[in-house]
Structure 1
Amino acid sequence: MAEVTANGVRFHVQRLGTARDDNHTVVMMHGMVMDNLSSFYYTLANPVALDHEVILYDQRGHGRSERPPTGYTVADSVADLRALLAELGVDRPVVLVGNSYGGTIGMAYAMAHPDEVRGVLLIEAHIAVEGWGDHMAGSLALAAFGLDDDQVREWLSDQGGRKVNRLARNAEALIYKTSMLDDLAAVPVMTEAQLGALEVPVLALYGEQSDILDVARTVERCVPNCRLQVMADTTHSLLLERTAEVREALDGLLAALPTDASPAGKPTSDAPPDNPGGA
């Protein structure tokens, strides 16, 4: 499957594995601007699809999906995902795996539609806590400034290669030709009370050298059913730097969550997922 129209936007979608009563449907959501579904396709998706159904999609404006001029708030992303799952005929709760901004979507979706989510895996996730919108918009604005630099353009032309140049062009179009910066700056924060009301199981993976580790501590403190796992000697690029450990953590989470075949919706394991990467 390549293209699905949902919420008025054409999405590039990849669906791997098979849905069964004794397994999970796992939805993997990539990061923002310089990312697309390939970051999961070449790391977690295919191994996980040996035992579960896996759904990957390029978010609006990213990869091979359509790039409309507006609609880049977190609420828009949640609406996109819900409409996409409906178009795909997914009729059971899903496990959400979100890297960076994908984790923002995962948390927002779980808070808005908790009955549709079995569990959430956050990988270096940006969470819309106080100051998040300004931080994200500011970071993207700095990226836009860099992309507009003549020396950067010359280096990309000479050294970047086709893939890097394509990512840079897509990033430039997202920043300059859509409402993304304004949309992100206007996103309402997730309050501690809202985070505290979330009962969905959350496993949060962050690098020891992450620049958003304070956000992870907030999530751990506020979300009742959250476990934080900090991986030593690792940065924001956790998915690529520690792929094997991330897959092991995801496997543990999936094994602990109930499936359609679980008696009375009970967890399939009483033990928490292993902690391979640190405390």
Structure 2
Amino acid sequence: MAVISAEGVELNVERLAARRGTTDPPTVVFIHGMLIDTLVSGYLTLGPTLAAAGFDVVMYDQRGHGRSERLPSGYTLDDFVGDLDVVLDRLAVSGPVHLVGHSFGGTIAFHYAARRPDRVATVSVIESEPATDGWSRKMALALPTAAVEFARGDFQQWVKEEHSAYMAQRVKAASQLLNSSTVAQDIPASRVLDQEHLRALRCPVLAIYGSESELVDQEPWLKSLISTCRTVVVPDQEHWVLLAHPRMVCDLIIGWVREHHPARSREVGGR
């Protein structure tokens, strides 16, 4: 792991090199979700498999999460987008990258693709949505509620008993972030994307949803707005599709990247 300084905040970064000989392998950047998530979810589900498929993989803890620095303020979408820019610069990543975003990470991926189209080859989102006015309203309700609920000792104990001690630790860390910073205020106040921003996206977009998720309604809406969007709905799944079916999600992403980057996914020797 490495630590990168991004405009006054230290970010924890993990990079996995392509494990099979490839000529100029594509770079895949995994962006994790909000609050209880870290780069660990990408490492345990996608990272090694994507590297074995011939991709360079970059994962990082977003500001305030995991081993990255927690600041008292500075949590707008533009701040998160700026962090991604700095990560790519510090790692000297050349050429457009393939963004893979889980939940809030996908929201950042949409935002980055709209703000920095020159740096994005494709976007793959898992159970995610773009930042719109409606999204901001949801965040304005959900984040203060989470700040109260996550701080309750009985809720943390319930998470430990029903899920795992690790998840309980993540809830506790999320509570500390929510109650010691302006994240719950900054995120809903962020600049958002309107329909014209989304229609203007030209990079290919892959969107994966669970059929029982509250976000599955995004599927037809995204397809109607983004001409390059392909969607996959996984039957009998809710929000945690990535954790429930990591191999399937990996296969979808590998196929998507190769489809849109075939020359750079070829092994040495032309195989």
Q: TM-score, normalised by structure 2?
A: 0.90
Contact 2:156–2:172 under 8 Å retained in 1 = no
Indicate the SS of the match to 1:32: coil
Equivalent residue number for residue 39 of structure 1? 41
Equivalent residue number for residue 273 of structure 1? none
| Distance change in 2, residues 1:161/1:225 (3 Å) | closer
**1: CA distance, partners of 2:182 / 2:263:** 40
- Of 251, 255, 261, which aligns to 1:248? 251
User: Which stretch shows the higher mean deviation, 226-235 or 251-260?
Assistant: 251-260
**2: CA distance, partners of 1:197 / 1:13:** 31
Equivalent residue number for residue 10 of structure 2? 10
Alignment pair present for 1:106 and 2:109: yes
Amino acid paired to 1:27? V
* Equivalent pairs, count: 262
The alpha-carbon deviation at position 10 of structure 1 amounts to 0.6
Summarize the alignment of residues 220-235 of structure 1 with structure 2, pairs less than 5 Å apart: 220-235=223-238
The alpha-carbon deviation at position 259 of structure 1 amounts to 6.0
**2: CA distance, partners of 1:206 / 1:161:** 25
Q: TM-score, normalised by structure 1?
A: 0.88
More relative contact order in 1 or in 2 (CA 8 Å, sep 6+)? 2
Give ranges in structure 1 of 5+ residues lacking alignment: 263-279
| Distance change in 2, residues 1:242/1:154 (3 Å) | closer
- Of 144, 165, 169, which aligns to 1:166? 169
Contact 1:22–1:259 under 8 Å retained in 2 = no
Summarize the alignment of residues 89-168 of structure 1 with structure 2, pairs less than 5 Å apart: 89-153=92-156, 155=158, 162-168=165-171
Equivalent residue number for residue 26 of structure 1? 28
Contact 1:17–1:54 under 8 Å retained in 2 = yes
Alignment pair present for 1:238 and 2:238: no
Amino acid paired to 1:180? V
RMSD: 2.0
Give ranges in structure 2 of 5+ residues lacking alignment: 266-271
**1: CA distance, partners of 2:22 / 2:82:** 26
Amino acid paired to 1:42? L
Amino acid paired to 2:16? L
**2: CA distance, partners of 1:159 / 1:131:** 32
Identity score, percent: 37
Equivalent residue number for residue 267 of structure 1? none
